[in-house]
Amino acid sequence: MILPIVAFGDPVLRKKCVDIAQDYEGLEMLIDSMFETMYASHGVGLAAPQIGKAINLFIIDTTPFEDEKYPALRKVFINPEVIEETGELWEFEEGCLSIPHIRENVKRHANLRIRYKNESFETIEEAYDGIAARVIQHEYDHCRGKLFVDHLSELKKRLLKNKLLGISKGAVNVDYRMRFPAAR
Ligand code: NI
């Protein structure tokens, strides 16, 4: 089922998400719906708060960025915990399905180690770099109530203020289902 994506300005995007248990009701269906929703909106990652649930869950599929060095990664992260971020800071232009039509360079560390549960609730610990690390960092931020625009300079934030307000009111054209907090 394709779910509406929550737009910038909705308080659920600012919540610190909570861990879930293996018997979380409808988890399998929720994950399926999140993948369906992400593909319908051409995203490479989607976090649960973006479909209105403040739980520690996100999915990624880096297929659009696939190359010889970085094979596509399709994964579910449950109760993720970034253990460490290391390496050089590098800039990459990020966007977000909750913040349509805004893309900005964000600096993040090149490497990360993360611990999480997979769909079978097995504990996994892995290291990532490249685009996969980038997408994971962006989605992990969502689970902590953080958005990519929070990483921008004060000046950039000021320049984007009206655009962001417009998005929260639904004054934006998108070709996927969205829910706007301040729409009338
Ligand atoms: Ni996002």
Q: Whole-number mean pLDDT of the chain? A: 97
Q: Is 65 exposed, middle or buried (0-12, 13-18, 19+ CB in 10 A)?
A: middle
47 C-alpha to ligand 1 centroid (Å):
7
Classify residue 90: in a domain, yes or no. yes
Q: Give the pLDDT confidence of 84-102 residue by residue, as tens digits.
A: 999 999 999 999 999 999 9
Q: What is the chain's Cα-based Rg?
A: 16
CATH number at residue 31: 3.90.45.10
Mean pLDDT within 70-97? 97
pTM for the predicted model, two decimal places: 0.96
- Whether 8 contacts 167, CB under 8 Å: yes
Asked if residue 22 belongs to a domain, the reply is yes
- φ and ψ of 127, to 5 deg: -115, 140
pLDDT digits (tens, 9 = 90+) for 150-183: 999 999 999 999 999 999 999 999 999 999 998 7
> Are 97 and 141 in contact, with CB atoms under 8 Å apart?
no
Q: Is the pLDDT of residue 184 over 70?
A: no
| 179 is a domain residue | no
pLDDT tens-digit profile of 34-64? 999 999 999 999 999 999 999 999 999 999 9
Distance, in Å, from the CA atom of 97 to the CA atom of 85, rounded to the nearest integer, reads: 24
Q: Range of 142's domain?
A: 5-172
Burial bucket for residue 15 (CB in 10 Å: 0-12, 13-18, 19+): middle
In this structure, is residue 183 part of a structural domain?
A: no
Residue 113 inside a domain? The answer is yes
Alpha carbon of 166 to ligand 1 centroid (Å): 17
pLDDT at 112 over 80: yes
- For residue 137, report the distance from its CA to the centre of ligand 1, in Å: 10
Catalytic residues: 139
Question: What is the domain count for the chain?
Answer: 1
Q: Is residue 182 a part of any domain in this protein?
A: no
75 falls within a domain: yes
Is the residue at 37 inside a domain? yes
Ligand 1 centre to CA of 175 (Å) is 17
